[in-house]
Amino acid sequence: MVHIVARFRVNSPAVIHQTFESEAVIVNLETGDYFSLRGSGAEVWEAIVRGVPEEEIVAGLAGEGGAGDGRGGVGDDVHGLFVELLREALIVPVEAGAIAAGAGVRQIARRRPYERPILEKFTDMRELLLLDPIHELDEMGWPRPAGEEMAGER
């Protein structure tokens, strides 16, 4: 059996990000807004970066710690987070693709028991980020001054 799976990706190059142990920090260079994604949100973000579909993220989070079966609770939390990430233009849809049913749930990086993902938005650096636009990004997605060579480039 084959079904269509909705997939999303980071809205690069407009969005840069870094994940720390329990938090993902995300910057939208087009709006100047930056975000903190806490709780299980850092694990959700890392899964999005790796191309894991929403339903597999829910299944992975719901599978441990009695977090529910994915239709409520975890599923609602994750879906709500995806709606917020889309609204803030941090992720964008990828063309739908078919996958084989039973392909298996990709593991997400579980660091701690499930906690509702929390996306916080900060606008206090907006003017500064928009005033000094980033021209180039390194291989990790972090800004670097225009014309600066990365290690290995020459």
User: Per residue in 59-73, is it b (16+ CB within 10 Å) or e — as a string?
Assistant: bbbbbeeebbebeeb
Query: Confidence class of residue 111 from pLDDT cuts 50, 70 and 90?
Result: low
> What is the DSSP secondary structure assignment for residue 132, as one 8-state letter?
S
145 in a structural domain: no
Helix (H, G, I), strand (E, B) or coil at 131: helix
151 in a structural domain: no
154 in a structural domain: no
Of all residues in the chain, what percent carry a pLDDT higher than 70? Answer: 66
pLDDT at position 103 is 44
Query: Confidence class of residue 113 from pLDDT cuts 50, 70 and 90?
Result: confident
Residue with tokens 């939208």: 28
pLDDT at position 6 is 73
pLDDT at position 69 is 47
Domain containing 134 equals: 2-138
Name the residue among 126, 152, 153, 148 with its Cα closest to residue 137.
148
pTM value?
A: 0.74
Kindly compute the dihedral angle of the four CA atoms of residues 10, 86, 107, 139, in this order, to the nearest 10 degrees: 10
pLDDT at position 128 is 79
pLDDT at position 100 is 42
52 in a structural domain: yes
83 in a structural domain: yes
9 in a structural domain: yes
Q: Tell me how many domains the chain contains.
A: 1
149 in a structural domain: no
Lowest mean pLDDT among 9-18, 60-69, 73-82, 95-104: 95-104
For range 81-97, the mean pLDDT? 90
> What is the DSSP secondary structure assignment for residue 106, as one 8-state letter?
P
